[in-house]
Amino acid sequence: MNFKAIIFDLDGVICSTDEYHYQAWKKMADSMGIYFDRTINNRLRGVSRMESLEIILERYQGQPLSDAKKEELATMKNDIYRESLHQMSTADLSDEVRDTLNALRAKGLRLAIGSSSKNTPFILKRLGLENFFDAVSDGNNITRSKPDPEVFLKAAQFVDMEPADCLVVEDAVSGAQAGHAGGFQVACVGDASAAGAGDFNLKSFGQLLELV
Ligand code: B16
Ligand code: MG
């Protein structure tokens, strides 16, 4: 496999902010008396903030909510989430991820981020990775979130590569679908790997080194 670039999802791949997302949505759902659990949470991986809210509201039994109220709920969640992000530091980047990224860089691959999150710049800063990647495509430069391929197509463009030359790394089934829809090969970790959603379903992040 002759990949020239790798595009990494952020939450659930580079770092474990997925748990902070879950805790923040759980607090928002509890405040509204809406049932929410980890199985429902798995459907939110890679999905934008407002679309995530709509999935949670499927269990809401009250009167229909106005757009303004939905904005308020999404903001409530994001405020709680941002609060947890402030506790993050370079210690939240695992040795395995750091060593693998450095080894991939040493092989001359171009490395980019492809994340649905609007908080991507802040998270990269907390991890000490704000200057590491060759390009960052995230929730701030897209209009359609995964499973639409836009975020990955933009990342490929930013590093001046064709999708066929790039490998996408994802933890979400929606993200793996986005990669395939864009014409990329996809390596999965975590939830998406367990679901067999990738061309390569990895047991660990470090296994990426066997693919390039
Ligand atoms: P924000 P990824 C995604 O990031 C998360 O997996 C998903 O749970 C979240 O709703 C989405 O970002 C939007 O995040 O509210 O921070 O803009 O997995 O694509 O890196
Ligand atoms: Mg993810």
- pLDDT 10s digits, 33-84: 999 999 999 999 889 999 999 999 999 999 999 999 999 999 999 999 999 9
For atom 12 of ligand 1, the residue with the nearest CA is 117
Sign of CA dihedral 113, 79, 58, 15: positive
Pocket-testing residue among 7, 8, 11, ligand 1, by greatest number of atoms within 8 A of Cβ: 11
Q: Does domain 5-15+90-211 have CATH number 3.40.190.10?
A: no
Q: What is the pLDDT of residues 73-103, one digit of tens each?
A: 999 999 999 999 999 999 999 999 999 999 9
Q: Tell me how crowded residue 181 is: count the other CB atoms within 10 A of its CB.
A: 16
Sheet containing 185-188: give its strands across: 135-137, 110-114, 5-8, 166-170, 185-188, 200-201
For domain 18-85, say whether CATH 1.10.150.240 is its number. yes
For 125, what's the count of Cα atoms within 13 Å in the CB-facing half-sphere? 7
* Domain residue spans of the chain: 5-15+90-211, 18-85
pTM of the predicted model, to two decimals? 0.94
Q: 181 C-alpha to center of ligand 1: Å?
A: 19
Supply the residue whose CA is at minimum distance from atom 15 of ligand 1.
49
